[in-house]
Chain A
Amino acid sequence: MVELLDIFTYPFFQKALLGGFLIGLMAPLVGAFLVYRRLSMIGDTLSHVSIAGVALGFLVGLSPVGFGILFAVIASFAIEKLRTTFRAYAELSIAIMMSGGIALASFFISMGQGAMNVTGYLFGSVYTLDHGDLWLVASVTIIVLLFVTLNFKELFLLTLDEDAATVSGLPTKLYNMLITILTAVTISAVIKIVGALLVSALITIPVAASMIVARNFRHSVWLAVVYSEIAVIIGITIAGIWNTAPIGTIVLLLILMLIGTIVFKKGWKR
């Protein structure tokens, strides 16, 4: 047992835990305001486009994460545009952007003739975090945390009913834009760590679980963070000790917790 816990003394593992903790905090905070506004798929879409930016970054030899953020921000505004074009089929914009992102990524990767480490960004790598990665994640976490706590009332109003929020004088266009940019930045900042394919799970599943049992809105947002942190910390520890895929383990734990919550709620009602 003592040997098993030795892993906590390794710097790479400590960094993984710290990075995981920060992501576990910010992902559901952003996610809550997407899920409750029925934009759950935005996370997945932006992560796929972000990969294209990462690939271009490798190709031209400049910051892959920077390009990832740029692509995700552009994509999020393109989605809004497409949503108004296909008003009655809004989900079409998601399908177009998602496949478009992967198409562009594969195009850039083929131009790089296999010299790029893009696959790392598909599944992520928790154990190769360096100080730069941690600083980036910590900065974005602080921005998200400040934005959500300082604007909690306004975000509630917007999420409950956008029209009524506008009529009460809230600058809803500005808030929509800020949420969009923040989502794009959050996703791009974490895909190197959690991977483009699973980032959406960290954003949506904790919110899904907390929605079932929350008593009020504030409760639902912070409970999602609690779910998320439990899964991240236990998941990374299990992965470290038994050598399983860390993000996959976290997501599976989240799904188990979601199922547990649904069963608990049903049983409790009876």
Chain B
Amino acid sequence: MNAIDDCHEAVIELDRVTFAYEGERVLSELQTTIRRRDFVGLIGANGAGKTTLLRLIVGLLRASSGEIRLFGTPVKQFDSWERIGYVPQRNVLNPQFPASVRDVVLSGLYTRKRWLRRMTKEDHLMAEEAMQALGIDHLAHKRIGQLSGGQQQRVFLARAIINQPELLILDEPFTGVDEETQISFFHILKHMHQHHNMTFLMVSHDLQMMREYLGDEPEHLNSRLSLYVRHSHGNDCSGTDIVHSLKEQLLTASGMRS
């Protein structure tokens, strides 16, 4: 295999994935492949099964039949979760939960492999840099519930990228934030897509933000779910540091701080 093939290996494969809930088929025989460096928008109306599919992909639900593979490994056996960054829906957060911004960002480093290990100075530095990269370092001591929706989103994005993930999954990132915030957030994602060896899967019921970047010709998974895909033209698979590059971009571009 040459380097170019390596660049576009399958990251997420759905192989005749069916999911039934209480006897009712929610998803039926879904088939698709998402390749390295793709930017994929998963679009569907409320109730179309977007969240179900996302939960299947990250192993929170089991498919009734068919198989899902992550980086070539069936999701049941997959255990390299540090390769995946996950930005949950904002409404999972209880606004009174007493966590600081730094708590949340640092928790991106709490994986199974670090059980019993204390957070080191380097870990704290990494969190600091991730916060700087997303322009939220001045909020480090604030409680997460005191932040605006757009700021909270950046906190969860900072947490997701702190491990330099190869696959970033975002669940409805545009819900409940104003358009200006959506644009600047999507701008960050585009930057990461264009400059890094990263794959994106973003779930949304809102097309507007995606259309310009992802085009008008979706791949239909079924009658209600569509994938809008932008492939990356670059064949450079060398991993560059996401956090540092975002930080540099922040220094040159103004107005990113919200």
Q: When chains A and B are docked, how far (Å) is the Cα of A104 from the Cα of B63?
A: 41
Q: When chains A and B are docked, how far (Å) is the Cα of A215 from the Cα of B86?
A: 25
Contact, CB under 8 Å: B98 / A214: yes
Q: When chains A and B are docked, how far (Å) is the Cα of A166 from the Cα of B104?
A: 15
Which of B55, B79, B100, B169 is close to A169, meaning CB atoms less than 8 Å apart?
Answer: B79
DSSP class of A's interface residues: helix, strand, loop or mixed? helix
Q: Report B110 CB to chain A, min CB distance, Å.
A: 4
Q: Report B236 CB to chain A, min CB distance, Å.
A: 28
Q: Report A209 CB to chain B, min CB distance, Å.
A: 11
B243 within 8 A of A: no
B253 within 8 A of A: no
Contact with A along B83-109 (1 / 0, CB 8 A): 010101000111011111011100110
A4 within 8 A of B: no
A157 neighbours in B (Cβ, 8 Å)? 107, 110
Contact, CB under 8 Å: B96 / A156: no
A153-B107, A166-B59, A216-B103 known; A211+B88 contact, CB < 8 A:
no
A163-B92, A168-B81 known; A215+B58 contact, CB < 8 A:
no
A129 within 8 A of B: no
B231 within 8 A of A: no
Q: When chains A and B are docked, how far (Å) is the Cα of A167 from the Cα of B84?
A: 8
Q: When chains A and B are docked, how far (Å) is the Cα of A211 from the Cα of B102?
A: 17
A81 within 8 A of B: no
Q: When chains A and B are docked, how far (Å) is the Cα of A54 from the Cα of B258?
A: 58
A154-B115, A161-B92, A215-B141 known; A168+B99 contact, CB < 8 A:
no
Q: Which chain A residue shows the least CB distance to B92?
A: A161
B220 within 8 A of A: no
Contact, CB under 8 Å: A217 / B88: no
Q: Report B230 CB to chain A, min CB distance, Å.
A: 24
Which of B59, B99, B112 is close to A156, meaning CB atoms less than 8 Å apart?
Answer: B99
Contact, CB under 8 Å: A166 / B98: no
Q: When chains A and B are docked, how far (Å) is the Cα of A167 from the Cα of B70?
A: 12
Q: When chains A and B are docked, how far (Å) is the Cα of A154 from the Cα of B107?
A: 9
Contact with B along A45-59 (1 / 0, CB 8 A): 000000000000000
Q: When chains A and B are docked, how far (Å) is the Cα of A179 from the Cα of B34?
A: 38
Q: Report A230 CB to chain B, min CB distance, Å.
A: 19
Question: Which residues of B from 100 to 151 have beta carbons under 8 Å from A?
Answer: 100, 102-104, 107-108, 110-116, 119, 141, 143
A161-B92, A164-B88, A169-B81 known; A219+B107 contact, CB < 8 A:
no
A170 within 8 A of B: yes
Q: When chains A and B are docked, how far (Å) is the Cα of A11 from the Cα of B31?
A: 73
Contact with B along A174-205 (1 / 0, CB 8 A): 00000000000000000000000000000000
B60 within 8 A of A: yes
B94 neighbours in A (Cβ, 8 Å)? 36, 38
Q: Which chain B residue shows the least CB distance to A219?
A: B98
Q: When chains A and B are docked, how far (Å) is the Cα of A66 from the Cα of B126?
A: 48
A88 within 8 A of B: no
Contact, CB under 8 Å: A36 / B107: no
Q: Report A266 CB to chain B, min CB distance, Å.
A: 15
A166-B59, A168-B81, A217-B99 known; A160+B112 contact, CB < 8 A:
no
B82 within 8 A of A: yes
Q: Which chain A residue shows the least CB distance to B171?
A: A163
Which of A160, A167, A214, A216 is close to B58, meaning CB atoms less than 8 Å apart?
Answer: A167
Q: Which chain A residue shows the least CB distance to B113?
A: A169
Q: When chains A and B are docked, how far (Å) is the Cα of A17 from the Cα of B143?
A: 36
A112 within 8 A of B: no
A150 within 8 A of B: yes
B98 neighbours in A (Cβ, 8 Å)? 36, 210-211, 214-217, 219-220
Contact, CB under 8 Å: A168 / B110: yes
Q: Which chain B residue shows the least CB distance to A162?
A: B92
Contact, CB under 8 Å: B79 / A167: no
Q: When chains A and B are docked, how far (Å) is the Cα of A153 from the Cα of B127?
A: 15
Contact, CB under 8 Å: A170 / B60: no
Q: Which chain B residue shows the least CB distance to A38?
A: B94
* Contact sample, A vs B, 13 pairs, CB 8 Å cutoff: A36-B97, A151-B115, A154-B115, A160-B97, A160-B107, A166-B58, A167-B60, A168-B111, A170-B111, A210-B98, A215-B100, A216-B99, A216-B103
4 closest cross-chain pairs (CB), A and B: A169-B81, A216-B100, A220-B98, A153-B110
